[in-house]
Structure 1
C-alpha cells in the first residue's frame, strides 16, 4: 500500500474517533450540568468544562482567542467552541470535515458505504449547525453525532476483506482511543482517589466519567455493584475484557504494529510492548490509597507523554512515507 494512502486511512479514523470522544465528553458534562446544585455540588464552578478543555489540549487556545473569564466558562459558549467552531481544528465539526477529506482522498480503497456515510454526515452536520441545533438542544446534537459515527464504525467493521486497509483504519482508532483515555483519566483523577477529609464520593461525577468513555454498561456487566473509585480505575485502565480500556487499546496497537511490521518499526513494537506491560502491572490498588495521594495522577501524566511518543512513532514508522513528500492528510 502507498504510504500516502495509509496516512489518509489512519487519520480518517483518528478524526472520526476524536469527534465521537468529544461528543461523549460534552454530552456527559452537559447532562451533569443540568442537575440541581445540591445533587452536583461545585458544578457551578465550571470545573467540569475546564477539564474538557484540558483533555483535548485546548486550554491555551481557548484562553488566547476567548479568554477565561473570572466568573467561569459559560456553558453554551464552550459547546459552540468545541462543537461547531470551524476555526477550532479539534472541534467536532472540524474533525468531521477532516475525516471526510481523508476519506475522499482514498475513495478507491474504502467501501462505497463508508464514503457515503462520512460524506452524508458532513453534509448533514452543516445543515444542523445552520439550524442551531447545538444551541437550542445540545443533547440532540451530541446524540446525532454519536449515532452517525456508530454507523460509520459499523460499516468499517463490516468490510468484506480484512486487509491492510482495515488494519490502518483500526490503527488510527486505537491510537486515538488510547490517547483520549489517558487524558480523560488524568483530568478526573480526583474521582478515582479516596475522598479528602470532609468530602464524600462524587457519585454523579463518576457516573458522568463512565458515560463519557462509554463504559457505564461495561461497569455494570463486570462488577454488577455500586460504582466505586478503585473499580472504575481497574476497568478503565487494566480490564482486558473491555476493548475501550487503556490496556486493551495499547495491546491492539501492539498487535497491529506486529502485523504491519517493516524494516523500521522494531523500536515502535518495543515501545508498544513496554507500555502494555507497564499498564498491566501498574499497582493501582496501592496508589489509590490515602497514604499515596497523587501517585496515579503523576503516573498518568508521564504515561500521556509516552503514548504521544508511541503515536508519533506509529505515524513515522508504519504510516508516513519514508521519502519526504507533501502531506495532504489533515493532521
Structure 2
C-alpha cells in the first residue's frame, strides 16, 4: 500500500474517533449540568464552569478559548467545540477532515463506507443550519454518536480484513488511547476516596462509553478504585487504556517493516507499564496525586508512540538506495 493512502486511512479514523469522543464528553457534561444543584447558586455556577473548563483542557484549548471568549458558559463552549468551523478541534472540523481523507482514498475505502461518511457530513450541515446544537444539545450529541456508530459498524463489516482495515483500526486505537489517558488525568479529582463524587464519576463513565461495561464487569455501585481499574487495566473492555495499547501493539506487529522495531518495542513497554501500574496501592493509600503524575508521564509516552506509529508504519521513509533509484 502507498504510504499516502495509509496516511489518509489512518487519519480518517483518528478524526472520526476524535469527533465521537468529544461529542460524548460534551454530552456527559451537558447532562450533568441539568442535575439539581445541591450547593448554593454561586458554588453551582463555579462547578459548572469548572466542568466545561475541564473539557477544554482535555482537548488542549483552554487558553485559546479564553483569548476569544469572556467567561465559561455552557452555550458558548458547546458552540465552540461542537459547531465552530474555525476551531480545528471541533466536532464539525474533525468530521470535515475525516471526509477529506476518505475522499482522497475512496477508491480503496469501499463504496458503502464512503457513502455513509459522506451522508453524515451532508446531514450535519443541515443540522448546523437549523442550530440544533443550540436548541437541543442532547439531540445533537446523540445524532453524532449514532452516526459515528454507523460509520464504525460499516468499517468493521468490510468483507476482507486487509491492510486497509488495519490502518483504519490503527488510527482509532491511537486516538482512543490518547483520549482515555487525557480524560482520566483531567478527572482524577472525582476519584478521591475521601471525597468521591458519585455523579461526576457516573458522567466520566458515560463520557468514555464505559457505564455499561462497568455494570457488566463489577455488578456493584460505582467506586473510585474500580472506575480507575476499568478505564486503565481492564483487558475485557476494548475501550480501556490497556486494551487500546495492546491492539496498537498487535497491529504494529502485523504491519511491521524494517523501521518499526523501536515502535513495537515502545508499544510493548507501554502495555507492560499499564498492566503493572499499582492502582490498588494508590487508592488504598488515597494517593490519587500519584495516579495523576503517572498519567501525565504516560500521556507524553502515548504521544511519542503515536508519533512513531505515524513515522515508522503509516509513512515510513524511503530507504536511501530505493530513493536514489526512483
* TM-score, with structure 1 as normaliser: 0.93
- Tell me the secondary structure at the aligned position of residue 116 of structure 1: helix
Q: CA deviation at 1:87?
A: 0.7
Choose which of 47, 59, 63 in structure 1 pairs with 2:62: 59
- Contact 1:86/1:93 (CA < 8 Å) preserved in 2? yes
Task: Please identify which structure carries the higher helix content.
Answer: 2
- Contact 2:11/2:171 (CA < 8 Å) preserved in 1? yes
- Contact 1:193/1:289 (CA < 8 Å) preserved in 2? no
Who is 1:260 aligned against?
Answer: 255
- Contact 1:194/1:290 (CA < 8 Å) preserved in 2? no
- Tell me the secondary structure at the aligned position of residue 282 of structure 1: coil
Listed as ranges, the gaps of 5+ residues in structure 1 are: 325-331
Choose which of 204, 207, 223 in structure 1 pairs with 2:218: 223
Who is 1:201 aligned against?
Answer: 196
| Mapping 1:164-179, distance limit 5 Å | 164-179=163-178
| Mapping 1:219-258, distance limit 5 Å | 219-258=214-253
- Contact 1:4/1:321 (CA < 8 Å) preserved in 2? no
Q: CA RMSD in A?
A: 1.5
Who is 1:7 aligned against?
Answer: 7
- Contact 1:17/1:173 (CA < 8 Å) preserved in 2? yes
Q: Distance in 1 between matches of 2:105 and 2:297?
A: 36
Q: Distance in 2 between matches of 1:269 and 1:61?
A: 35
Q: CA deviation at 1:82?
A: 0.2
Q: Structure 1 residues 40 and 234 mapped into 2: Cα distance closer, same or farther (>3 Å)?
A: farther
Q: Distance in 1 between matches of 2:309 and 2:177?
A: 13
- Tell me the secondary structure at the aligned position of residue 109 of structure 1: helix
* TM-score, with structure 2 as normaliser: 0.94
Q: Structure 1 residues 39 and 244 mapped into 2: Cα distance closer, same or farther (>3 Å)?
A: farther
How many aligned residue pairs are there?
A: 316
Q: Distance in 2 between matches of 1:293 and 1:89?
A: 33
| Mapping 1:1-331, distance limit 5 Å | 1-38=1-38, 42-45=43-46, 46-67=49-70, 69=71, 73-195=72-194, 200-290=195-285, 292-323=287-318
Q: Distance in 2 between matches of 1:16 and 1:144?
A: 14
Listed as ranges, the gaps of 5+ residues in structure 2 are: 320-326
- Contact 1:10/1:319 (CA < 8 Å) preserved in 2? yes
Q: Structure 1 residues 306 and 43 mapped into 2: Cα distance closer, same or farther (>3 Å)?
A: farther
Q: Which has the higher contact order (CA 8 A, sep 6+)?
A: 1
Who is 2:322 aligned against?
Answer: none
The one-character-per-residue Cα deviations of 1:57-94 (angstroms, maximum 9, x if unpaired) are 11122123325x3xxx1100000000000010010000
Q: Distance in 1 between matches of 2:149 and 2:103?
A: 19
Q: CA deviation at 1:202?
A: 1.1
- Tell me the secondary structure at the aligned position of residue 106 of structure 2: coil
- Tell me the secondary structure at the aligned position of residue 295 of structure 1: helix
Who is 2:324 aligned against?
Answer: none
- Contact 2:192/2:286 (CA < 8 Å) preserved in 1? no
